[in-house]
Structure 1
Amino acid sequence: MRTIGTALLALFMVGNAVAATCPSVSSITQKEDGQGYAYSAPGGWEGDNPMASEEDLGSFEFFTAKVTEKSVICRYKGENKSGVSLTLSGARQTAGDGWEDGECTASDVDACAFK
Structure 2
Amino acid sequence: MDKKAATGLVEKYIAMWNETDQGLRRALVAEVFTPEGTYTDPVADAAGHAAVDAYLASAQGNFRGMSFTFGTVLAHHDAVHFTWRVGPPGRPPVASGSDVAWVAPDGRIGRLYGFFDGF
Do both proteins adopt the same fold according to a TM-score greater than 0.5, normalized to the shorter chain? no
TM-score interval, normalised by the smaller of the two chains: 0.3 to 0.5
Task: Give the alignment's TM-score, normalised by structure 1.
Answer: 0.35
Give the structure with the higher percent helix. Answer: 2
Give the structure with the higher percent strand. Answer: 2
